[in-house]
Amino acid sequence: MNTLPQDDPFTILLHKKIMNKTGSAKRRAKKYYVDQYRKSGIIPKALFLAGRESWKVASAAAVNVFWMSRS
């Protein structure tokens, strides 16, 4: 993600943060994080944590598939 323009990592992390929310909760969260990013120019830490959690889930699933395929 270091090679992407600055707004692209923000967009990707925002999507990971709000993808499991629905309706007004998604709109509120999106507005909040976009406003925070516009004010400071810094990607909020909560978005980095959301991105990290999705990687943990994906890597755990990959490990489970690996071990299941070996047996």
**2-19 tens-digit pLDDT:** 555 567 888 888 998 898
Q: Residue 27: is its pLDDT beyond 60?
A: yes
Question: What pLDDT, on the 0 to 100 scale, is given for residue 28?
Answer: 95
Inside any domain, residue 2: no
Q: Which structural domain range is residue 53 located in?
A: 7-70
pLDDT by residue (tens digit) across 62-71? 445 445 555 5
Inside any domain, residue 1: no
Inside any domain, residue 63: yes
Question: What pLDDT, on the 0 to 100 scale, is given for residue 47?
Answer: 87
d(CA 4, CA 6) in angstroms, rounded, equals: 6
AA letter at 62 = A
pTM reported for the whole predicted model: 0.64
d(CA 28, CA 31) in angstroms, rounded, equals: 5
The residue length of the chain stands at: 71
Domain count, the chain: 1
